[in-house]
Amino acid sequence: MFVDKVKIYVKAGDGGNGMVAYRREKYVPDGGPAGGDGGKGADVVFQVEEGLRTLMDFRYQKHFKAERGENGRPKNQHGKSRDDMIVKVPPGTTVIDEDTGKIIADLTEHGQRAVIAHGGRGGRGNSRFATPANPAPEIAENGQPGQERNLVLELKVLADVGLVGFPSVGKSTLLSVVSAARPKIAEYHFTTLTPNLGVVETDDNRSFVMADLPGLIEGAHSGVGLGHQFLRHIERTRVIVHVIDMSGLEGRDPYEDYITINEELEQYNLRLTERPQIIVANKMDLPTSEENLAQFQEKVGNGVQIFPISAVTKKGLNSLLRAVADKIETTPEFPLYEEDQIEQRVVYKFQKQEEPFHITRDDDGAFVIEGHEIEELFKMTNFDREDAVRRFARRMRHMGIDEALRERGAEDGDTVRILNHEFEFVE
């Protein structure tokens, strides 16, 4: 089965917890704190593996959770950081954050890697918090939570040339006679249900990869027929070969077919119109084809070159393949995305700083504090240690949460909620 779009969940490893410990060696006076830091959690890294051709493996495993870092140890020993979790993907995979719609990575070359979710840093041990005023702190941080993401993976096949056209115009037959590919061929529409790839070699020893895509029909860009599922694969091609049934035996006008398919490509993605297009008049071995070709040429104009062929009899194929190879050599690769669309690239632009917290009121009257900064601080606080609780209270006060609660009408004894935990507001 050809799978080219899946949804998965990834979670990087949490950092290891810091430790509260003290030196107790004999003959070492005033040993002091000696709690080590926790290790870093594992990153989730996607790596391109050229042997893969579909996203089928992700149909059976949709959750990927990396290892958390090791906890800190006594004698200032740091916990072990974890190795990256490597997830293999086929070339041509685009990784999209489902929640934000941002493109995280576009993976095309064998061995290419991208960090998709970053592991959390390890929590600091109590030796990190020693000061002249508090030489023996009872404070140690929990590890930072690893990044979590819901992802959409899209596979766009890597081909130099994409065959487009209505169903049953002869795209699969053309691919089968110019390459070793063996796509399904039959006398009914939508025989091709998945993209087929074939390596084509010309008579002057040049080669390129050709993709036969499922047939398009009117409305394909909006979800009509099968073609809408595979229009994304045309985006990676450098040259589009537009195959037209010039015989008209299906009861359609060749020129109307030509206009309709181009409109579908434009409606799906305007940038597809930038790609050079080679027009192929197929089924020229049938009796009505010559007359239809003359009318078609008149409508499109003499400035448009058309390659008349018969895929069945293999007539006209050499000149077509040479023209395709020439066009590939003179056509640069088209970037799928602008540089600032891909999250991995560093783009410096002004963005309003996210508020460290915001306060809402639940139906039960409790004050709910939310925000990435305060929630992360909460998760990294060890509430079993009194010193750590005091430090958390000081940080909340420094962030202005106490004052903000008073402004919202919080009084002594009111309930304050962070995540799933509740506290009592004390004046």
Domain extents in the chain: 1-155, 161-335, 358-424
pLDDT tens digits along 305-334: 889 988 888 888 888 899 999 988 888 776
Considering the domain delimited by 358-424, tell me its CATH architecture: 2-Layer Sandwich (3.30)
- Same fold yes or no, 1-155 and 161-335: no
Least confident of 137-151, 203-217, 233-247, 292-306: 203-217
What's the whole-number mean pLDDT along residues 88-92?
89
**Position 365 confidence tier, pLDDT thresholds 50, 70, 90:** confident
**Position 340 confidence tier, pLDDT thresholds 50, 70, 90:** very low
pLDDT tens digits along 385-422: 888 888 998 998 898 988 888 888 888 888 889 988 88
CA distances from 120 to 24, 77, 87, 143, 392 (A): 31, 19, 18, 7, 19
Is residue 225 over pLDDT 80?
Answer: no
Looking at 159-257, which runs of residues are DSSP E strands?
A: 161-164, 196-201, 207-212, 239-245
What residue type is 299 in one-letter code?
A: K
Per-residue model confidence (pLDDT) at position 179: 81
Per-residue model confidence (pLDDT) at position 18: 94
Residues 6+ apart with CB under 8 A from 105: 46, 94, 95, 114, 116, 342, 343, 344
Is 293 annotated among the ligand-binding residues?
A: no
**Position 116 confidence tier, pLDDT thresholds 50, 70, 90:** very high
Is 58 annotated among the ligand-binding residues?
A: no
Is 127 annotated among the ligand-binding residues?
A: no
Least confident of 102-106, 141-145, 233-237, 334-338: 334-338
Is 310 annotated among the ligand-binding residues?
A: yes
Is 91 annotated among the ligand-binding residues?
A: no
Per-residue model confidence (pLDDT) at position 188: 41
Question: Pick the residue with more confidence: 332 or 244?
Answer: 244
Is 40 annotated among the ligand-binding residues?
A: no
Query: For the chain, what is the mean pLDDT?
Result: 83
- How far is C-alpha 197 from the geometric centre of its chain's CA atoms? 23
Q: Compute the distance between CA of residue 12 and CA of residue 406 in angstroms, rounded to an integer.
A: 37
Is residue 289 over pLDDT 70?
Answer: yes
Is residue 336 over pLDDT 70?
Answer: no
Is 311 annotated among the ligand-binding residues?
A: yes
Is 168 annotated among the ligand-binding residues?
A: yes
What's the whole-number mean pLDDT along residues 142-149?
94
Q: Compute the distance between CA of residue 239 and CA of residue 410 in angstroms, rounded to an integer.
A: 66
Per-residue model confidence (pLDDT) at position 345: 54
Q: In what order do the strands lie in the sheet with 44-48?
A: 85-89, 44-48, 113-117
Is residue 347 over pLDDT 60?
Answer: no
Q: Compute the distance between CA of residue 77 and CA of residue 120 in angstroms, rounded to an integer.
A: 19
Per-residue model confidence (pLDDT) at position 77: 93
Using an 8 Å Cβ cutoff, are 117 and 105 in contact? no
Is 282 annotated among the ligand-binding residues?
A: yes
* Whether CATH 2.70.210.12 fits 1-155: yes
Least confident of 171-180, 342-351, 362-371: 342-351
Is 331 annotated among the ligand-binding residues?
A: no
Is 142 annotated among the ligand-binding residues?
A: no
Is residue 196 over pLDDT 60?
Answer: yes
User: Quick one: which of 156, 190, 154 has its CA closest to 171?
Assistant: 190
Is 212 annotated among the ligand-binding residues?
A: yes
Task: Using the CB atoms, write b or e for 102-140: b if 16+ within 10 Å.
Answer: ebbbbbbeeeeebbbbbbbbbbbbbbbbbeeeeeebbbb
CA max distance for the chain: 106
Is 194 annotated among the ligand-binding residues?
A: yes
Is 276 annotated among the ligand-binding residues?
A: no
Question: Pick the residue with more confidence: 347 or 16?
Answer: 16
Is 170 annotated among the ligand-binding residues?
A: yes
Is 285 annotated among the ligand-binding residues?
A: yes
Is residue 302 over pLDDT 90?
Answer: no
Per-residue model confidence (pLDDT) at position 54: 79
Is 283 annotated among the ligand-binding residues?
A: yes
Is 80 annotated among the ligand-binding residues?
A: no
Say which CATH class 161-335 falls into.
alpha beta
What's the whole-number mean pLDDT along residues 174-193?
62
Using an 8 Å Cβ cutoff, are 183 and 230 in contact? no
Is 179 annotated among the ligand-binding residues?
A: no
Least confident of 49-63, 262-276, 290-304: 262-276
